[in-house]
Amino acid sequence: MKLLLKAGRVIDPSQNIDALMDIAIQDAKIVQIGPNLSEGQTNGRKGPSSKTKTIDLTGRVVVPGLIDMHTHLREPGFEYKETIETGSLAAAAGGFTSIACMPNTQPVNDNRSITEFIKRKAALAGRVHVYPIAAITIESAGRSLTDFRDLQDAGAIGFSDDGKSVLNSALMRRALEYASSIDMPVICHCEDPQLSAGGSMNEGFVSTELGLAPIPAMAEDVMTARDIIIAEYTRTAVHIAHVSTAGSVEFIRSAKKRGVKVTAETAPHYFTLTDDSLRDFNTFYKVNPPLRTKEDLEAVKEGLRDGTVDVIASDHAPHAVTDKDVEFEFAASGMIGLETSLALSLKLVDDGILTLPQLIQKMSFNPAKILKIPKGTLQVGVDADVTVIDREKIWTVDCHQFRSRSRNSPFHGRRMKGKAVMTIMGGEITYDESQNNA
């Protein structure tokens, strides 16, 4: 099977490409990239069975397959919220060819068998490359390290106790040191649980009015600062997950200036929504870290603009109706994002915060670099993971059309501009908007 992607605007930050080009794909690899390729040119190899499918992508943007480095697939343990299969379908529909999934399943992904299980189920679904992130500590309980090398051998690509911080600072130090010695990233959910105890929204004027127990921005900031301090001291790399506060952005910015090997991600809701959305107690807006203030939102945008924040990741967190249709303080935290992340992020381009190549870098090349996976590029020879974007497509979010098993998106009903219209993973079309006249 050969594919020839014709006449799209190809953007590949890894090669500084932003031009009208064609891409030839054969045997699941990119074999050629350049202007005006013809069907016969695909690498000169012409087998008898080789039939080339040409796709005209005039007016489309063609980018390295998007990568979401922060998702929750819920399997094993919470299959009623999401499965690896439904999450994979959602990822492909959202334009993603690779996703990393967090270990807070039941049981926690803290051992080889769970990691292998996830890889096996993902291969079976076959819609997206799934990269398991294993727990830093056994059961993510913060007491003792998991078998990092064994998990690495089993296919884990990083470590995180996502959902909580490793509170024991000495243990966190050892985790960063040990992970760096095997060249594996550590991803930190930054939250001081005493400062956030009992809280269900950001501490600010809105929480003052609503009387909901507040989570101060500093609950995130003190842990961001601590993890940076540990990384700086041990000269190791650390990745800060879902940055939501102005304070954390500033800690990361100044650390980067000092040369600390810190990277950071934020999620679309932190540059799209504020705590003002909570006023009617709609639990779909409950997320952790919580939606912050306008000032935080602006700081996150500025962090994206000036490069402090390297990555946009969805923090796709599926929850069933039963988890959400309860009193606000009892509701589960999290929102799904795989199928809305790209459109919300494209708004940053429309608003002049990022150029389109910068955005693509934050959604493909940068996460690949942090996770140390051979993705996020259209270089000849790599797996043919490609996302095709229609920048102008106007569409309305309809949670009933989601591939995800869950519906907990506060963006239901929102008009969006821009959408992934074709997703190609390893040369196979995993999503095609034209086959899906929803």
Partner 1 sequence: MKLTQKDLLGIKDLSVEEINLILDTAESFIEVSTREIKKVPTLRGKTVINLFLEASTRTRTSFEIAGKRLSADTINISSSTSSIVKGETLIDTAKNLEAMNPDIIVIRHSAAGAPHILAKTVKQSVINAGDGAHEHPTQALLDLMTIRSKKGQIAGLQVAICGDIAHSRVARSNIYALTKMGASVTVAGPATMMPRYIEQMGVKACCKLEDAIVDADIIMMLRIQLERQTEHIFPSLREYSTYFGLNRKNITLAKDDVLIMHPGPVNRGIELAPDIADAPFSIILDQVTNGVAVRMALLYLLTGGN
Which residues lie below 8 Å from residue 28, measured CB to CB, with a gap of 6+? 383, 384, 426, 427, 428
Nearer Cβ to partner 1 (205/233): 205
State residue 303 phi and psi, 5-degree precision: -65, -40
Kindly tell me which residue out of 15, 281, 298, 395 binds partner 1, with binding defined by CB under 8 A.
281
| Binding piece for partner 1, criterion CB under 8 A, among 80-88, 200-208, 234-242, 354-362 | 200-208
Kindly tell me which residue out of 46, 294, 307, 330 binds partner 1, with binding defined by CB under 8 A.
330
CA distances from 211 to 153, 178, 191, 203, 207 (A): 49, 44, 21, 10, 6
When asked if residue 209 is in the footprint of partner 1 (CB under 8 A), the reply is yes
Q: How many Cα neighbours within 13 Å face the side chain of 159?
A: 36
When asked if residue 295 is in the footprint of partner 1 (CB under 8 A), the reply is no
Nearer Cβ to partner 1 (203/339): 203
Q: Which helix (H) or strand (E) holds 33?
A: strand 29-34
Structure tokens at 367: 């996460």
Structure tokens at 353: 């915060």
Nearer Cβ to partner 1 (103/204): 204
Q: Residue 69 CB, nearest distance to partner 1 (Å)?
A: 33
| Binding piece for partner 1, criterion CB under 8 A, among 138-146, 198-206, 244-252, 295-303 | 198-206
Q: Residue 413 CB, nearest distance to partner 1 (Å)?
A: 16
Q: Considering 162, 221, 275, 315, which one is annotated as catalytic?
A: 315
| CB of 115 closer than 8 Å to CB of 151 | yes
Q: What is the dihedral of CA 73, 74, 79, 85, to 10 degrees?
A: 10
Nearer Cβ to partner 1 (60/81): 81
Q: Residue 302 CB, nearest distance to partner 1 (Å)?
A: 23
Q: Residue 281 CB, nearest distance to partner 1 (Å)?
A: 3
When asked if residue 233 is in the footprint of partner 1 (CB under 8 A), the reply is no
When asked if residue 210 is in the footprint of partner 1 (CB under 8 A), the reply is yes
CA distances from 434 to 1, 118, 393, 438 (A): 20, 30, 12, 9
d(CA 133, CA 362): 19
Q: Is 150 a catalytic residue?
A: no
Catalytic machinery residues? 315
What residues make contact with partner 1 under the rule CB under 8 A? 203-205, 207-214, 280-281, 322, 325-330
